[in-house]
Amino acid sequence: MRQVGSATLLGCVAGLLAASLSCGGSAPAVESFDSGTRVVREVAEALSGEGRSILECYPWGSRAFLGIVSLFPDATRIALIEWGMRQSVGHPARHAARVDVDALTRWCLAQYPDDRRYDAIVVGSPNGAVAHLAALLDAPFLTTSFGLTFRHPPIVADDVAAYLESAGPVVDAIRNANPDDGYELIVHYDPLHDRSLVEVATFVRIKLTALPAAYVGFIAKHLAPGGRLILIDCTYPWPQSVLGENAFLQIGGLGGIAPEAYLERWPIERSVAVRRESEWGCPEGFAESVIQWAGRQGHDVLGVRFDHPWTYSLLAHDAYLACDGAHARQLLIDCFNHLNPRTNLATGIPALWLPFNTTEGPALVEAALSESSFERIRFAPLPSFADSPDTAPLALWYDLLGRYGPVELLGVDADLYPADPLAPFRFVDRMRALRRDLARARPLRLDVEKLASLVRHRAASAGP
């Protein structure tokens, strides 16, 4: 949910709201910048060959205006973005009563062609590496996670009590509008990485806790005979507090700051328990529901269960290298929602996905690359517009990656990072250029049996 600034700024100044993806009817739409939404849309683009990647977050015709914004000093750019967010981000809070959980699942299914059958269908928790895996399998991805934002009166970002006060009516309205079980609500409060957002909007993530009827119908129609379900069962943990029936609060999220540090700085008078994390974790009930339903239907399930999103990134990189025609001496390191598996498939360049642009990333990448060397490393860091204390500086990345090969910075202007308004446009430009200049005769493909072998090997490497 963390890359929202310039899109909402444009919506305010240009008189257009940042483009959200429609869920149908008058129900609030999923946020086009949210990580879960981006995974669904990137997989859909890889399967169809059509889409705008991260530019779906931006109104058409916005590039020229952002070019002007990029000429201002850092402080001015960020101030403009914060002002834009105060004016335009999120749905009106009263629209929480219009949220339809079933409509969200139908939105996910509508992203994929209705006239195809697939040898595999991927279901479970989203992350960028899962987008790469699903794309390699030529398989749709059915997400457990839908992010929505609702405006509230401006608050001080550090005032967790005020944030909770605004979130309460939103949670109650969604629950009242959707009385059936099968989902939970997680209010996500991250005053470090999403500081500007929490000042003006409540972020609510709707997580499926059971396989919904819409997904059952899609699988029955589109999974080919003998096909397999790939269950992404990420167990990444984080402390959460109970807000009400099937409703929880999470403070902070994955990055260079430990969960305990968040709770020390922003304490709350509620009991805390470690649960599956809001953004990356798969609800336990959903995973159990998939396995039980598949068993009754005679479908084979390949469970992909790891305790950190990064392990999925390592698996996806293994998967690229296992494909015939992959360029093993090249590497594209993408980050958060700045990814485009369509390009990796078309060019044969393996991906290594970073969950975020924070300080734990360099050590993870260093361990993954080990003694490797590359003809070229293309690096696309996230322009988060949040200069949080755990943002990894570009100099650190250059020093690290330069040990393994020549480095090309994709999209980002180093002088403007991390507040570079034009980075998404340059990123998409480079993806198009790579597809044009390095296109293979056929895209990379991975079969399910090979993935199963890679999962067993990666699980053994990860240990107990």
Mean predicted confidence (pLDDT) in 130-159: 97
pLDDT confidence band for 2 (50 / 70 / 90): low
Walk across the sheet containing 300-304 and list its strands: 141-143, 118-124, 223-232, 300-304
Domains and CATH numbers, the chain: 5-304 (no CATH), 309-462 (3.40.50)
Other Cβ atoms less than 10 A from the Cβ of 360: the count is: 17
**Mean pLDDT of all residues in 323-327:** 97
The residue type at 188: H
DSSP per-residue string spanning 55-122: GGGS-TT-HHHHHHHTTS-HHHHHHHHHHHHHHH-SB-GGGGGG--HHHHHHHHHHTS-SS--EEEEE
Amino acid 24: pLDDT: 39
pLDDT on residue 413? 95
Q: Is the pLDDT of residue 316 over 80?
A: yes
Q: Residue 6 pLDDT > 70, yes or no?
A: no
Determine the Cα–Cα distance for residues 58 and 12; give it in Å rounded to an integer. 12
Q: Is the confidence at residue 318, as pLDDT, over 50?
A: yes
Q: Tell me, what's the pLDDT at 1?
A: 52
Other Cβ atoms within 10 Å of 299 Cβ, number: 18
What distance in Å separates the CA atoms of residue 419 and residue 193, rounded to the nearest whole number? 13
Which of 26-30, 254-258, 333-337 has the least mean pLDDT? Answer: 26-30
- What's the pLDDT tens digit per position in 94-111? 999 999 999 999 999 999
Number of Cβ within a 10 Å radius of residue 103: 20
DSSP sequence for 348-390: ---EEEES-SBTHHHHHHHHHHTT---SEEEE-----S---TT
**Beta carbons within 8 Å of 154's beta carbon, 6+ residues apart:** 86, 199, 200
pLDDT at residue 18, rounded to an integer: 37
Q: How confident is the model at residue 461 (pLDDT cuts 50, 70, 90)?
A: confident
Whether the Cβ atoms of residue 314 and residue 285 lie closer than 8 Å to each other: no
Band of pLDDT at residue 32, cut at 50, 70 and 90: confident
Report pLDDT for 26: 59
Give the residue-averaged pLDDT of 148-168.
96
pLDDT at 219 over 80: yes
Task: Tell me the percentage of the chain whose pLDDT exceeds 90.
Answer: 81
| Average pLDDT of span 231-252 | 97
pLDDT value for 7: 45
Residue 253, pLDDT above cutoff 70? yes
In this structure, are strands 201-208 and 183-189 parallel, antiparallel, or unpaired?
Answer: antiparallel
Phi, psi of 143 (to 5 degrees): -85, 155
Q: ∠364-370-373 over CA atoms, to 5°?
A: 120
HSE-up of 266 (CA within 13 Å, CB side)? Answer: 24
For residue 32, give the nearest of 149, 114, 175 by alpha carbon.
149
User: Helix (H, G, I), strand (E, B), or coil: what is residue 268?
Assistant: coil
3-state SS class at 274: strand
What is the per-residue pLDDT across 45-87, written as a single tens digit (0 to 9) for each? 999 999 999 999 887 778 888 888 889 988 888 777 777 666 6
Mean pLDDT of 245-274: 96
Position 60 scores a pLDDT of 74
Q: 305 is written with which tokens? A: 């269960």
More confident residue, 387 or 314: 314
Cβ–Cβ contacts within 10 Å for residue 332, how many? 26
Per-residue pLDDT band at 22 (split at 50, 70, 90): very low
- Please give the mean pLDDT across all residues of the chain: 92
Mention every residue, 6+ apart, whose C-beta is less than 8 A from residue 209.
181, 182, 183, 184, 246, 283, 285, 286, 289
Looking at residue 463, its pLDDT comes to: 59
Residues 321 and 341: beta-carbon distance below 8 Å: no
What is the average pLDDT across 318-340?
Answer: 97
Q: How confident is the model at residue 386 (pLDDT cuts 50, 70, 90)?
A: confident
DSSP state of 145: E
Residue of 150, 156, 152, 287 whose CA lies nearest to 209? 287
Question: What is the pLDDT confidence band of residue 387, given thresholds at 50, 70 and 90?
Answer: confident
Question: CA 291 to CA 276: how far, in whole Å?
Answer: 18
* CA–CA distance, 376 with 393 (Å, rounded to integer): 21
Mean pLDDT of 391-401: 96
430-458 confidence digits (pLDDT tens): 999 999 999 999 999 999 999 999 999 99
Tell me which residue of 345, 112, 340, 133 sits closest to 223, measured CA to CA: 112
Q: In what order do the strands lie in the sheet with 201-208?
A: 145-151, 201-208, 183-189, 247-251, 237-244, 272-276
